[in-house]
Amino acid sequence: MKTFKHIISLVLMMVALSTPSAATTRLIVRDGLGLLHLKSSCLLLGCTVQWGLGDPNNQVFLVTTNLLNPLSLLKSLSLNLGIVDIELDQTMKVQSATASNIPSALYDQTPMSYYGSTVWHGYVNQPAAQLIQLAKTQSAYGVTGAGIVAIIDTGVDPSHPALKPVLLTGYDFMHNKGGADEKGDVTQSSAAVLDGAQPAYVNQSTAAVLDQSSAAVLDGGNYSAFGHGTMVAGVVHLVAPNAKILPLKAFGVDGSGYASDVMRALYYAQKNGASVVNMSFSFASSSQELSNAVKSVASKGVVLVASAGNDGKAVLVYPAAYPDVMGVASTDNSDNRSSFSNYGSNLVWMAAPGEGVVTMYPYGTYAACWGTSFSAPMVAGTAALLVQVSNSVKESSASSSLAQADWISAELNHGRLNTYTAVAAWRAALGIR
């Protein structure tokens, strides 16, 4: 049941966010009596039920209103029989950090075969892969990943030749349609982006191999997160090249998205067979219904991984701070905490390299990126290695195995990811020699 204090807090939030114009207000509402009851209530009160958010009991919905002052709606709806919880549909951002020098690995463009696809040599042999002992793990234990890794992000480029063999269709929650192509929101034609191209900074956290005109178009606020999902997918593929990737588009090319779409993506991932979910985004305030979604999905055995954020502070951000999620911080290639990375054992489960990580980028090219966004998928990819050892792995067993990391400092909790010790620990737990 809601408390009077909780309702007052919601009212104050609405006062702070209301504007003189009749802007659309988005609410996440849990109605214990179901959809028909909520629709009837909205018909009387001046709101619209848009769609359900996918929870197992079909009780959570996105509700919108264009009332000039939504306070009366909020108060009336809060007191309505059956309404269990109401919260604002928060916006959040995918992660970004400030890039430094372009790594030499991005210039190493010699093609090589990598588990069924052709990739750049610098992608496979970059320092980050060496630090986490990836080649040793693949060779010693014959693990290349299994199961489905869902990536809740800006979408993925489905035409990238190195990702094509493992990429599933996915879903676009921003436009409510199948597929998750992040290029669909970009007007620039980049058919020849590799024609004489060199690495160039496309935003503060990414250097991509593009021609100068394409790089210039993407270097702006409207496209500040373009490529983010493809880059995250590329990191997962580096660590677990035979795991399937399920792209779930919940963020736009500017990096913004709604909590309600993330919730829908989480439930979708679980219902569509995901073993692991990567969430390279964060927001400052906890959401009751997002917390409920995380608990529900984790209870079904799905391993959840999230970036710890790039504020450089000991602060809590979500979903990384939820108990059922492994929050991942960033380290540099000398095993120091990245200056931009958040830290603290109440947020961070472990760390992974996150500076100058070479990965895939839309239009069939590659990029170097900085941020905890690219540390998290290293852990998610390693979880897919554990799935290959035994698909009985769950959040608890995965987190325990991954915790066998290379210790750095207490602020990074269990330390920097080591794929070899993680797989060894899971094999030992199963009694495999």
pLDDT of amino acid 35 = 97
pLDDT of amino acid 193 = 41
420 or 5, which is more confident: 420
Is CATH 3.40.50.10190 what the domain over 4-89 is classified as, yes or no? Answer: no
Confidence of residue 247 (pLDDT cuts 50, 70, 90): very high
pLDDT of amino acid 317 = 94
User: Which residues fall within 8 angstroms of residue 362, CB to CB, at 6 or more apart?
Assistant: 157, 160, 182, 183, 190, 226, 227, 230
86, containing H or E segment: strand 83-88
Q: Please compute Rg for the chain using Cα positions.
A: 22
13 or 233, which is more confident: 233
* 279 DSSP β-pair partners: 152, 306
**What is the rounded CA–CA span in Å between residue 244 and residue 150?**
8
pLDDT at position 211 over 70:
no
pLDDT of amino acid 240 = 98
Considering the segment(s) 104-429 as one domain, its CATH architecture is 3-Layer(aba) Sandwich (3.40)
Residue intervals in the chain for CATH 3.30.70.2980: 4-89
Can you read off the two tokens belonging to residue 341?
């990375």
β-pair type (25-31, 60-65) = antiparallel
How far is Cα of residue 112 from the mean position of the Cα atoms in its chain? 28
Query: In this structure, what are the phi and psi dihedrals at residue 216, rounded to the nearest 5 degrees?
Result: -65, -40
- List Cα–Cα distances, 90 to 258, 326, 335, 339, in angstroms: 6, 22, 35, 27
Q: What is the pLDDT of residues 45-55, one digit of tens each?
A: 999 999 999 99
Q: What is the pLDDT of residues 327-375, one digit of tens each?
A: 999 999 999 999 999 999 999 999 999 999 999 999 999 999 999 999 9
Compute the C-alpha angle 267/273/277, nearest 5°.
60
Asked whether 349 and 327 are in contact (CB, 8 A), the reply is: yes
Percent of the chain residues topping a pLDDT of 70: 89
pTM score, whole prediction:
0.92
Confidence of residue 3 (pLDDT cuts 50, 70, 90): very low
What is the rounded average pLDDT of the residues 102-122?
95
Residue intervals in the chain for CATH 3.40.50.200: 104-429
pLDDT of amino acid 130 = 98
* 93 DSSP β-pair partners: 256, 282
Give me the chain's average pLDDT, please: 89
What is the rounded average pLDDT of the residues 371-380?
96
Distant-in-sequence contacts of 187-190, Cβ < 8 A, 24+ apart: 188/214, 188/217, 188/218, 190/214, 190/362, 190/363
Asked whether 211 and 192 are in contact (CB, 8 A), the reply is: yes
pLDDT at position 195 over 50:
no
Confidence of residue 290 (pLDDT cuts 50, 70, 90): very high
User: Which residues fall within 8 angstroms of residue 376, CB to CB, at 6 or more apart?
Assistant: 232, 278, 279, 280, 305, 306, 307, 308, 328, 352
Q: What is the pLDDT of residues 135-180, one digit of tens each?
A: 999 999 999 999 999 999 999 999 999 999 999 999 999 999 999 9
